[in-house]
Structures are given as structure tokens and as C-alpha cells.
Amino acid sequence: MRAVAAGSVGNLVEWYEFGVYGYLATVLAERFFTPMGGSPAEGLVRTYVSFALAFFFRPLGAALFGRLGDRIGRRPVLIGVVSLMTAATTLIGVLPTYATAGALAPWLLTFLRVLQGLSAGGEFGGSVALMTEFAPPGRRGLYGAWQSFTVALGLLGGAGVAAATATMLGEAQLVGWGWRLPFLLALPLGLVALWLRVGLEETPEFRERKRAGAGPGGAGVVASAVLLGAGRVMGWSAAGYTFLVVLPSYLQASLHTDLRQALLATVPANVGFAVAILPAGLLSDRVGRRPVMLTGAVLVAGLAVPLFNLLQSEGTSAVAKALATCAAGAVVGLMAGPGPALLSEMFPARVRWTGLGLAYSLANAVFSGCAGLIITEAVRRTGDVDVPAYYAAGACAVSALALLKPTLRKAS
């Protein structure tokens, strides 16, 4: 179980921070971007540009750290990745704002986001390779699901900490200085992750592969598998960010919900997401990865518009809205549970970290990192408040088609 803890806890730190940035996007827009001129909506768009930029460095991180991890081992590279991630996250909490540093402030924030993007790109592939290679026979789905589960815990922790901070301090103090606290909490979390990874052994599969001296695989096969893998998880990426991260800013900017209520609305979605992940991973060990993920993709494609219509209705009770967002999170969990194992099994061990990391980070760069930017700008320009539903449903429809296509190559 130490391998599960060491492999997944870095993801908790990563997604806690990414969640906090998304949940506090309107506050960061005011502190770092709105003084540059323009309306609050334009400041929010600039904040999401910085958010998206970090995601476009994730494929670079996946290639860089993945190459190292496939050559020298999972353990040493994962130690470096979590150290970089923790440092960058903590430094956001002490950055000067635009009022103090002027135009330098948004550039400093963006630079730290780039460092996080690089580390996050390496984190996913390494942690999934670590956990699935330590998994007993017939349990890769469950072990891989722990990666997604700690992602859910990170998002839930980010939502809970942001909501608690807003509730205890009030909006004025949150905007003034309280926004720093959730970022600073990443430091103790990162130190725990570092401690767990320093004491970890190398995976049995990697040690066996090094003894056998296996050579590199065919580049064409790996590239094709990367594209197919990205297509299979793009719905997970798009729906996950739409329902779990972008929702608070959408509720504030488009439906004029106050900050505290918007943050609280995200908690049941993340609870539903977390609760569904491990059962979905376990189920995939019995019936297969693709059927479970396909069910989730089809449900999102069919139910996204009705869900957002329910959230928009003033006649819908708070309890009904909470149950609806909880169910939406659970449906995303059907894709997130089997997803890590599915990607791991698409690549042989000699290129596993690189291959699955690239597939995941490419999907996330386009469909997660750009989610807030695309949704916010599209709603602003068109006035159509159903844009988030179209975005999630469309991506899941494409994912469903990719999941119907047979895997190109089994892992060896």
C-alpha cells in the first residue's frame, strides 16, 4: 500500500492546487489581471489564459520526465517531480499582486504556472506507471483508480478549503489576503509526498525490464497509441473540468451567484466524483475498462444540457441542485476510475511513462486547460449559458467513438 500512497499523494497536491486556482479564479483575476484594464469578465479570461498555458506545458513535462522515468526508474524522477510541484505551488501563495509589483505580477504568476505544468505533466504518467506496475494480477483497474481518487480528494480539498476560507474570512478579507492560505497549505502536503517517495522501492516490472535489457518500441505504434489514448480520455478531461473546476466561476459570471454559494455548489460534485472512482476501477477489473468508461461518456453526452438547465432554473431547490451536481460528478468518476489502467495497458513498460503521460497531458492541455477560457469567452460573446453543457457533451461524444475503437497494441 505504500506504493499506492506514494504514487497517488503527489496527484493530490497537484490537483488540490489546480482546483484552488480554478475555484479562486475570480479572486486571482482581480488581484493579478483586472488592473491591466478592461472588465472583470476580461480579467477572468486573462486568468484562464494563464491557467491554460500551464496545461500546454504538460506534454513537454510528460515527454521530459517520462523519458527520464522510463530510462532511470520511476522512484527518482517522481521525487524530483513532486519537489518542483510543491515549490511552485507554495510560491504562488507569497507572490506580490498587481497593486504591489505592477505588470510583473501576472508574469510571475504565469511563470509559476508553467513550472507546475511541467511537473504535472510528469506526475501523472509516473504515478500511474508506479501503481499499476505494483498491482497484483487482476487489480490494475483498482490500483490505477487510486490515482484518480486522490485527484478527486485534491479537488475536493481545494473546494473545501476555498469555501471554508471564504466563509470564515468573508469576501473582503478573502480577496485582500486570504486567497494565499489555500496555496500555502500545499507545502506540508508536498513534504508528506516527498517522504513517502524517498522510502519507496523501484517497481518490479521496471527492474525486470532493466535486467532483460529491452530496447525501444516502434515510434509509429507509440504515436498512434498516444493519439487514441488522448481521444479516449478527452471526455473525462472536458467533463471533469467543466463540472468540478470551472463551475464556480460559471455560476458567478453567468448566473450571478455569490462567491461563497458558488464554491459550496462545487463540493457535492466533487463528492460524487470521489465516491464513484474506486468502484468504477474495481468494476473495470471484472467487465473491462472500455465498457465502464463508455457508459460514463454516453451519460455525460446525453445529460449535460438537462443538468445545466436545472442549475439555471430559479425554481429548483438547493437540495435538488446539490444532488444533480453530485450525480454529474459520479458520472465523470465512471471515466476517471478505469482511465489510468486503460492508458497504462496501452503501452509496453519500456515507454509506459512517456506514452500514457503524453496521451493524458495532450487531452488535458486542450480539453481541461482550455475549458475555463473557452467556456468563459463563449458565454461572454454569445450570451448562451448552455455553453458548458455543449462543451462537455461534445467532448464525451468524441471519446465514446474512440472507446469503441479496439486498442492498437497490448502492453508487454
- DSSP notation for 219-247: HHHHHHHHHHHHHHHHHHHHHHHIIIIIH
Lowest mean pLDDT among 74-88, 252-266, 277-291, 321-335: 252-266
Lowest mean pLDDT among 183-197, 254-268, 275-289, 390-404: 254-268
Q: In whole angstroms, how large is the CA radius of gyration of the chain?
A: 20
Which residue carries 506545458 as its cell? 57
Q: How far is CA 128 from CA 1, 124, 146, 186, in A?
A: 14, 6, 9, 21
**Who wins on pLDDT, 199 or 234?**
234
What's the pLDDT score for residue 44? 65
What's the pLDDT score for residue 220? 58
pTM above 0.75, yes or no: yes
**Who wins on pLDDT, 159 or 278?**
278
What's the pLDDT score for residue 164? 85
pLDDT at 261 over 90: no
Q: How far apart are CA 33 and CA 98, in angstroms?
A: 7
Q: How far is CA 107 from CA 33, 54, 77, 376, in A?
A: 10, 12, 28, 21
Across the range 316-338, mean pLDDT stands at 90
What's the pLDDT score for residue 259? 67
pLDDT in tens, 128-148: 988 888 888 889 999 999 988
pLDDT at 96 over 80: yes
SS3 of 397, please? helix
SS3 of 137, please? coil
Across the range 26-47, mean pLDDT stands at 68
Q: What's 2-404's CATH class?
A: mainly alpha
Lowest mean pLDDT among 87-96, 198-207, 402-411: 402-411
- DSSP notation for 1-32: -HHHHHHHHHHHHHHHHHHHHHHTHHHHIIII
List the chain domain ranges. 2-404
Contact (CB, 8 A) for 262 and 252? yes
